[in-house]
Structure 1
Amino acid sequence: MGGNATVAVEATTNRPSSASIVQTLGGGSGIDTSALVQSLVDAQFESRNAALAKREETLTAQISAAATHKSNITGFSTALSTLSRSGNLATQPTSSNSGIVNVTRLSGAVLTDVNARVEVRQLAAAQTASTAPVTDKAAPVGQGTLTLTFGTASVADGAMSAFMPGAGASVDIIIDASNSSLQGIAAAINARNAGVTASILTDSAGSRLVIKGGSGEARAFTLEATETPGEEGLSALNIGIGASGTTIGSAAADAIVAIDGVAIKRDSNTIADLVPGVKLDLVSAQIGVPVNIGKTLPTNALLQAVSDFVDTYNEVFAALNKDLDPVTGSLKQDIAAKALKRQLQQLTLAPLASGAGGAPTTLSQIGVRTNRDGSITLDSTALSRALVNSPDAVEKMFAAPSGAATTGNGLAAALGAIAAEAANTTRGLGASEISYTKAKSDIATDKTDALAKADALRTRMTRQFASMDAKVAAYKSTQTFIENQVKAWNSQD
């Protein structure tokens, strides 16, 4: 009887262990141990998972905020710099007759005093010469050497009557069997880059070689052939005194311009060194017709620019201030964001130009006021008064940056310095963005680690409860066997 009991217990406790633990959990105890294990694991890791999720959410908001404000200030700076460099906020020169003289402001120039009378007596011109037409531009002309010489010349009725060589060395152009056609000769001349250009002009009469020099009296030229014996023909291309095969279409000449009655010469029709800050483009010669050169102030453009600056500043500042709210702000503890706010608040008092004679140098002095909440407003009356009394000073504040200096170099330079600091990846919002992104990456690693630990704990507890359940099942089996034996004994009595 004892042996049978032993066999029964062994049969119960040594059931196969290859069956799924999860499927057999609770079979002996009657408890849903699978759900119990899951609840215990969830309870242990719930607070940590919640903390990681909250931290990840915070970092995501911080990354977005840092990138947004860096982009805002950079875009603000770029837009202002583009406007400043466009010249629309600068005094522009004027011409009383653009059909004779056209004027443009030189880049970076400040036109403080523009008042001149210009009389164009002669336009600068380039010498052009053409050969007699030939039937076939691909046919050989001759071989030898063409020598190009620059200097000054006298030309009348298409012929050169006198020539004085300049100080520059002559240029030799080799013509052989490979380039002896009109086309080949033109290509050989152009390949030398000697100061003339050659082209082929074709019409019903045939093809001509046309050679053109640079404008200016001293850029007249001659072309003289030294022919290869037996391959004669190049002399037909001679340009100069006594040349019979070519015609000079226009003579080299300097421009003659009288500035306030004083005649000067220039070798180009574009002149940038007569009226300070102004480029003159000579359009036509009109002897005895003076052209008045003056200036026009960008008053309306500056009024609009200051107004637009105030509006954009307030948008950028309000967005930044919201994220710096000490309670709800995503960047409430961000040092770079706080520095950006401080720099923006100091902008209205920063010296933007070198003042002389009491001229305004800061935004606050031309009507841009700072409110208690950090936003700014525009006093249009004060700005209009500054534009009347000190137009040059206001213009300097909005002038395009020049050089590496920022202080006293205009508003665009000052705002550009703030934007550069914000984008800095060592101490600016650029650095904050990098730091937050790395921290978020670390959160992902922590979440993976927590998940692995939760799985390990679930596996360990599942095995522990499986072992317990097996023991309970064995005890129940023994109990049932004993109860049945007792019932059997009682029935025998």
Structure 2
Amino acid sequence: MPGSTTTSATSSIIATLGAGSGIDFAGLAQNLAAASFAPRIDRNTVRAETVERQISAASTLKSSLLQLSSSIGDRVRSGDLSSQPLIGNASVATVSRGTLSGRGSYSLEVTRLAASQVLSSPAFASAAAPTGSGTLTFTFGTVSGSSFAADPGQSPATVTVPSGASLADVAAAINAAGIGLNAYVASGTSGAHLMLKGKEGAANGFTITASETLGEEGLAALAWNPASAPAQLTATAVDAAFKLDGLAMTRASNTVADLVPGLNLILAGTNPGAPTTIRFSDPGAAVSTFMADLVSALNELAGELNTQTDPLSGDLARDDGARAMRRALSQLAGTVVMPGAAGGEPATLADLGLATNRDGTFRLDTARLTATQKAAPEGVAAMFTTGLFGVYASFDKLSRRLTSATDPGTLAGSLTRLNAQKKALTEEAGKLAEAQEKLRARLAVQFSGTEGRVTRSKSTLSFLQNQIDAWNAKAN
């Protein structure tokens, strides 16, 4: 191949350069090529090192901001920064915080838990026993003894039973219909039974009417109403009954949301005549600790940012993303995080004691924090929720905005630009190395001619010197 021949010839030339002349033409070609490209290579190297430092600095700031936001989210979700309900007798109910902040204490006495209607069909030989075909219509309402009152707010539901269906097929069809009933086949002492279970609450009882297909009768065995077969009713649907601070209440479900502001209940047991107490915890100490930790974390971030944006020595002194972050942090204390706060309620981080120093660092104004906690404890608790507004939501929005890759004025935008520069510098370094090698090879070829001339001159000089020496010897 021509390329291989040229390379071989060049290598041969380089190997023999200086062999006859005594001059290191190979080294000379190498040094001249290196000297020619040294300024550009040095500039590329310095620029690449600078870009690498800038990438590292921007990545560190971005990571620190995201980590801070994530840590705040974890702390808020733990629940200790807002008032949490506590119950004296945990066997009666599970308590959790509602959508609002709660306070005070309450007594709870549960006399009855909400229950679902459970219905058992007549016995069949097995789950595979045929049932006949047609339709089953379920009407929802209240079962009371042998009477039934349909609920006008719930429409009847119809389930089609196909030809050749078995008891197991009927259960599957009811479940697939999604009408709020759970159906399964259970084997009892007398045979297989279709078991039907409805939703909790007195109004979620049900009756069944059957329409049979001519020639495939049998489905009527699954029809039911309380007057015709009361023995098939194994459990009646009822509402939960309880007293809160002595006031009698009922609910269709054992899950009770926002019974009072900030309180959710899941009723689990009864305690007639022995009310238990529900109270709300005071998160004041936890909030004070959190704010102190937040100030420390922000100062670490601000310190790194100040170092990287120093006008004389900072790697990100003129970086748009770092500047945007600096501006955002300087405005952090005064940013409204609770836009819907009423007059006198805390709305900014400054209300929680966050204060900004002239150098961009932060301090905790404990006097202001204490005053806010004393004047508006519910407002403080409301700032530490996972809703659309509050401390976590504000930091989450801030971190997302400052690390958005689609905005060239953010840290992520800076990283996109810097990584593009790094790629370009790497490509340029490769091109410079290739060009330098080509120059060295070209000089080596040129020097090979010089080598031949010098060698021939030395040979001629040696011949003449020998002749002169011979003449001088004869003369003597």
Matched, 1:272 2:257: yes
Write out per-residue CA displacement over residues 139-181 of structure 1, whole angstroms, 9 at most, x where no aligned residue: 22444433322222222xxxxx1123333443333334431x3
Q: Report the more deviating stretch, 138-147 or 299-308.
A: 138-147
What is the deviation of 1:73?
A: 0.2
Q: Is the 8 A contact 2:133 2:164 kept in 1?
A: no
Match of 1:31 in 2: 23
Match of 1:170 among 156, 174, 188: 156
Match of 2:430 in 1: 448
Matching residue's letter, 1:125: A
Match of 2:442 in 1: 460
Alpha-carbon distance between aligned partners in 2 of 1:295 and 1:18, rounded to the nearest angstrom? 88
Match of 1:420 among 378, 400, 411: 400
Q: Is the 8 A contact 1:131 1:246 kept in 2?
A: no
Superposed, 1:344-423 pairs within 5 Å as 344-353=329-338, 358-371=344-357, 373-378=359-364, 380=366, 383-402=369-388, 409-423=389-403
Aligned CA RMSD, in angstroms, stands at 3.2
Matched, 1:71 2:63: yes
Matched, 1:149 2:139: yes
How much identity, in percent, do the aligned residues show? Answer: 36
Alpha-carbon distance between aligned partners in 2 of 1:418 and 1:143, rounded to the nearest angstrom? 62
Alpha-carbon distance between aligned partners in 1 of 2:183 and 2:260, rounded to the nearest angstrom? 35
Aligned pair in 2 of structure 1 residues 101, 417: CA closer, same or farther (>3 Å)?
A: closer
Alpha-carbon distance between aligned partners in 2 of 1:177 and 1:130, rounded to the nearest angstrom? 23
SS of 1:89's partner is coil
Matching residue's letter, 1:438: A
Q: Is the 8 A contact 1:178 1:184 kept in 2?
A: no
Alpha-carbon distance between aligned partners in 1 of 2:282 and 2:197, rounded to the nearest angstrom? 42
What is the deviation of 1:74?
A: 0.9
What is the deviation of 1:277?
A: 3.3
Superposed, 1:25-424 pairs within 5 Å as 25-27=17-19, 29-95=21-87, 97-106=89-98, 108-111=99-102, 118-155=108-145, 161-167=146-152, 168-179=154-165, 181-228=166-213, 231-244=216-229, 247-259=232-244, 263-272=248-257, 274-286=259-271, 293-353=278-338, 358-371=344-357, 373-378=359-364, 380=366, 383-402=369-388, 409-424=389-404
Aligned pair in 2 of structure 1 residues 256, 490: CA closer, same or farther (>3 Å)?
A: closer
Aligned pair in 2 of structure 1 residues 415, 189: CA closer, same or farther (>3 Å)?
A: closer
- Name the count of aligned residue pairs: 463
SS of 1:20's partner is helix
- TM-score after normalising by structure 1: 0.82
Q: Is the 8 A contact 2:171 2:183 kept in 1?
A: yes
Q: Report the more deviating stretch, 41-50 or 259-268.
A: 259-268
Matching residue's letter, 1:422: L
Alpha-carbon distance between aligned partners in 1 of 2:10 and 2:420, rounded to the nearest angstrom? 45
What is the deviation of 1:126?
A: 1.6
Alpha-carbon distance between aligned partners in 1 of 2:69 and 2:11, rounded to the nearest angstrom? 70
What is the deviation of 1:356?
A: 5.1
What is the deviation of 1:284?
A: 3.7
Write out per-residue CA displacement over residues 456-475 of structure 1, whole angstroms, 9 at most, x where no aligned residue: 22122222222222223333
Alpha-carbon distance between aligned partners in 1 of 2:11 and 2:376, rounded to the nearest angstrom? 94
Alpha-carbon distance between aligned partners in 1 of 2:53 and 2:44, rounded to the nearest angstrom? 14
Alpha-carbon distance between aligned partners in 1 of 2:470 and 2:438, rounded to the nearest angstrom? 48
Write out per-residue CA displacement over residues 239-275 of structure 1, whole angstroms, 9 at most, x where no aligned residue: 2144349511121222344555654443212222542
Matching residue's letter, 2:101: V
Q: Is the 8 A contact 2:163 2:216 kept in 1?
A: no
SS of 1:306's partner is helix
Aligned pair in 2 of structure 1 residues 272, 452: CA closer, same or farther (>3 Å)?
A: same
What is the deviation of 1:429?
A: 0.9
Match of 1:22 among 4, 7, 14: 14
Alpha-carbon distance between aligned partners in 1 of 2:110 and 2:472, rounded to the nearest angstrom? 143
Matching residue's letter, 1:332: A
Q: Is the 8 A contact 1:94 1:296 kept in 2?
A: yes
What is the deviation of 1:296?
A: 2.3
What is the deviation of 1:120?
A: 3.9
What is the deviation of 1:72?
A: 0.8
Matching residue's letter, 2:404: N
Q: Is the 8 A contact 1:238 1:245 kept in 2?
A: no
Q: Report the more deviating stretch, 333-342 or 277-286.
A: 277-286
Alpha-carbon distance between aligned partners in 2 of 1:373 and 1:131, rounded to the nearest angstrom? 79
SS of 2:232's partner is strand
Q: Which has the larger radius of gyration?
A: 1
Matching residue's letter, 1:109: L
What is the deviation of 1:28?
A: 5.1
Aligned pair in 2 of structure 1 residues 268, 368: CA closer, same or farther (>3 Å)?
A: same
Matching residue's letter, 2:23: I
Aligned pair in 2 of structure 1 residues 175, 369: CA closer, same or farther (>3 Å)?
A: closer
Match of 2:5 in 1: none
Q: Is the 8 A contact 1:114 1:276 kept in 2?
A: no
Match of 1:158 in 2: none
- TM-score after normalising by structure 2: 0.85
Matching residue's letter, 2:120: S
Match of 1:474 among 445, 450, 456: 456
